[in-house]
């Protein structure tokens, strides 16, 4: 066990099992105290590496993350404190790994419930190697104005109120972490404050004892008096009694053992800590308090009188000239986190993203205001979900059914079209699903599957301006633009695309108006008079019928229809549909275990 001071203003720690709030509180304390270096040198997250961004005052810093204790200790040889936030299941193993590192002097174990046999092994190893274990079941410890472990002393407001941003003259040790915060406040009210405070933890076998730390405090010149808060259960306080009787402690000790109320209960009482259970008269709070008093400690008659006893001891030391006044100063203001400032109404900040189609902040996600449960319970289909997420409204069933038909009809068009070909080649090259899918999707454009929007745009413009099919086609010809939605490499006037016929049949049956489709058919009649392959293709059929859907449903304004066509909604329908087929081709090639594709020489014209 160390015989003197554990921490200083240059102490740095390794933090095991990343927890954002405790680490940020340590860094905020550093800034409050005017430290030059952050007290957290590195973070250990098993299986992870990289950096974690945190704040050191107003500066954002990146703290290295290591995957093992050994790697962290090697990277940060001056970090000699190991703060272990692992669960009780793994705390012992990781703590032992840290104790075995030559650079680590102090290990703080926060977890409760660490098996007692494991704790005993840690204690034995630490004592044999002159190292310190604080905990298990501890909040940690603090050296005022220098260093603190994790959540010790609570919030910044509490730290400022307790004057922990600068050193005082009192060494304090307690079993309870929660009561430590109370005593920090009490001590700050009636003395010049804490120099160092330790919570040893409430387990039956603490890594270090009350007397261990009292003896350390006795060797620290800046500590002028010692305050001890014990509790019923166990016999730890008696080692302090023996130290006092043997004259090993020559500084005033003010002590209180809590749990005197246990005698009011007829049966044995287990308090909050595992070790807070009286196992006989010697382990009672009354017996311990009396033994401490007999050994020379100042012991009040009750916890309520504890503050007065501390105050009287401090004032006596001041009168004797053993304590000089501490120079007070105003600590710097810790910058407030933006989210906290926003919640308190102190600042307002612009958002970076606007979303109007979905919201996942409530109990369940909503699509355009419709809860997920309603979507399932009401039997919504894919078309209904598209209507909510794309058009931000629930379209009539014939509209959503039409959307679903379009998806089904456009899902695939065989392995020879450019998109499928690219996907097949990529999949056979051993690439993953996403890469194979994207390689096919990237071929979609004006020449492949991307003509739906253009077909809708040109058909709508021509119809709305009252152009005859002749005027429309000839004007496009003069501009050097092929009529989108017209023409097919295989289909002919006497061999129509079955997909186009199915879409037209559905529209005639269910749509209230098909004026744009009828106009497209008139255009087709004219173009067929020029060439037998200038038929209305599936792009033209979907484009014209979608105009009829938007206009005929009565749910969209003219401006909204123009915007939908301009943004690219209709091509989005083809992208969504064709993704199904491209994924299928990827799986097909992988299932067939097809080798790398190489294009045959005989299919290439080599020329100069």
Q: Return the pLDDT at 176.
A: 87
Tokens, residue 299: 């012991």
Give mean pLDDT, residues 446-465. Answer: 88
Give mean pLDDT, residues 503-517. Answer: 96
Cα angle vertex 171, ends 168, 172, to 5°? Answer: 120
Which of 3, 14, 220 is CA-nearest to residue 103? 14
Q: For the segment 174-226, what is each residue's pLDDT rounded down to a tens digit? A: 998 889 999 999 999 999 999 999 999 988 899 999 999 999 999 999 999 99
Give mean pLDDT, residues 572-598. Answer: 96
Q: How far apart are CA 445 and CA 449, in angstroms?
A: 6
Q: Return the pLDDT at 366.
A: 96
Q: How far apart are CA 197 and CA 363, in angstroms?
A: 43
Which of 346, 358, 315 is CA-nearest to residue 225? 315
Percent of the chain beyond pLDDT 70?
Answer: 96
Q: How far apart are CA 391 and CA 363, in angstroms?
A: 24
Q: At what angle do helices 538-552 and 397-410 cross, to 10 degrees?
A: 170
Give mean pLDDT, residues 13-25. Answer: 97
Q: Return the pLDDT at 271.
A: 54
Query: Average pLDDT over the chain, rounded to whole?
Result: 93
Phi, psi of 358 (to 5 degrees): -150, 160
Give the catalytic positions in this structure: 273
End-to-end CA distance of the chain: 86
Q: For the segment 224-244, what is each residue's pLDDT rounded down to a tens digit? A: 999 999 998 788 899 999 999
DSSP 8-state symbol, 449: B
pTM of the shown model: 0.72
Residue 59 pairs in a beta bridge with: 56
Percent of the chain beyond pLDDT 90?
Answer: 83
Q: Return the pLDDT at 274.
A: 47
Give mean pLDDT, residues 560-574. Answer: 91
Q: How far apart are CA 545 and CA 521, in angstroms?
A: 11
Using the predicted structure, report yes or no on whether residue 327 has a pLDDT greater than 50. yes
Q: For the segment 115-137, what is each residue's pLDDT rounded down to a tens digit? A: 999 999 999 999 999 999 999 99
Q: How far apart are CA 546 and CA 550, in angstroms?
A: 6
- Return the minimum-mean-pLDDT range out of 2-11, 289-298, 456-465, 508-517: 2-11
Q: How far apart are CA 407 and CA 402, in angstroms?
A: 9
Which of 294, 317, 293, 291 is CA-nearest to residue 305? 293
Q: For the segment 44-65, what is each residue's pLDDT rounded down to a tens digit? A: 999 999 999 999 999 999 999 9
Q: Return the pLDDT at 264.
A: 52
For residue 588, what are the contacts with CB-CB under 8 A and spacing of at least 6?
Answer: none
**Helix residue ranges, H only, 140-176:** 156-161
For residue 556, what are the contacts with CB-CB under 8 A and spacing of at least 6?
Answer: 391, 550, 564
Give mean pLDDT, residues 548-577. Answer: 93
């Amino acid at each position: 066990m160390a015989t003197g001071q554990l921490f200083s203003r240059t102490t740095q720690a390794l933090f095991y099992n990343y927890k954002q709030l405790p680490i940020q509180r340590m860094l905020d304390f550093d800034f409050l105290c005017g430290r030059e270096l952050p007290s957290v040198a590195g973070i250990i997250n098993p299986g992870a590496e990289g950096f974690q961004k945190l704040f050191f005052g107003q500066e954002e810093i990146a703290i290295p993350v290591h995957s093992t204790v050994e790697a962290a200790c090697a990277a940060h040889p001056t970090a000699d404190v190991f703060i272990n936030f692992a669960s009780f299941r793994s705390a012992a193993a990781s703590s032992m790994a840290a104790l075995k590192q030559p650079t680590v002097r102090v290990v703080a174990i926060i977890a409760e419930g660490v098996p007692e046999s494991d704790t005993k092994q840690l204690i034995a190893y630490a004592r044999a190697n002159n190292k310190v274990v604080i905990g298990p079941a501890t909040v940690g410890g603090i050296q005022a104005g220098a260093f603190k472990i994790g959540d010790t002393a609570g919030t910044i407001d509490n730290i400022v109120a307790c004057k922990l941003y600068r050193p005082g003259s009192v060494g304090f040790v307690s079993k309870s972490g929660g009561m430590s915060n109370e005593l920090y406040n009490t001590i700050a009210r009636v003395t010049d404050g804490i120099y160092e405070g330790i919570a040893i933890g409430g387990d039956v076998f603490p890594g270090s004892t009350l007397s261990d730390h009292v003896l350390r405090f006795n060797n620290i010149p800046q500590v002028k008096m010692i305050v001890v808060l014990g509790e019923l259960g166990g016999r730890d306080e008696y080692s302090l009694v023996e130290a006092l009787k043997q004259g090993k402690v020559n500084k005033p000790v003010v002590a209180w053992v809590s749990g005197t109320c246990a005698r009011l209960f007829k049966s044995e009482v287990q308090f909050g800590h595992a070790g807070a259970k009286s196992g006989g008269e010697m382990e009672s709070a009354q017996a311990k308090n009396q033994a401490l008093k007999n050994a020379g400690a100042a012991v009040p008659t009750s916890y309520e009188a504890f503050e007065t006893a501390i105050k009287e001891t401090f004032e006596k030391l001041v009168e004797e000239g053993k304590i000089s006044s501490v120079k007070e100063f105003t600590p710097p203001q810790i910058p407030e986190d933006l989210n906290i400032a926003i919640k308190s109404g102190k600042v307002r900040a612009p958002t970076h993203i606007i979303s109007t189609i979905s919201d996942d902040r409530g109990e369940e996600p909503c699509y355009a205001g419709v809860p997920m449960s309603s979507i399932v319970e009401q039997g919504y289909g894919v078309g209904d979900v598209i209507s909510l997420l794309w058009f931000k409204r629930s379209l009539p069933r014939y509209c959503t059914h039409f959307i679903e038909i379009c998806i089904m009809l456009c899902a695939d068009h065989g392995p020879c079209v450019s998109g499928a070909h690219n996907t097949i080649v990529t999949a056979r090259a051993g690439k993953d699903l996403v890469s194979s899918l994207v390689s096919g999707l990237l071929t979609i454009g004006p020449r492949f599957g991307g003509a739906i929007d253009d077909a809708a745009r040109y058909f709508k413009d021509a119809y709305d301006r009252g152009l005859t099919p002749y005027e429309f086609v000839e004007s496009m010809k003069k501009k050097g633009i092929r009529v989108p939605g017209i023409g097919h490499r295989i289909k002919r006037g006497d061999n129509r695309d079955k997909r186009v016929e199915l879409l037209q049949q559905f529209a005639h049956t269910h749509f209230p108006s098909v004026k744009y489709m009828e106009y497209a058919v008139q255009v087709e009649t004219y173009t067929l008079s020029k060439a037998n392959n200038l038929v209305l293709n599936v792009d033209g059929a979907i484009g014209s019928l979608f105009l009829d859907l938007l206009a005929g449903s009565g749910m969209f304004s003219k401006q909204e229809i123009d915007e939908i066509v301009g943004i690219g909604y209709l091509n989005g329908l083809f992208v969504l549909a064709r993704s199904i087929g491209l994924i299928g081709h990827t799986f097909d090639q992988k299932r067939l275990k097809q080798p790398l594709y190489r294009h045959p020489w005989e299919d290439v014209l080599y020329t100069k």
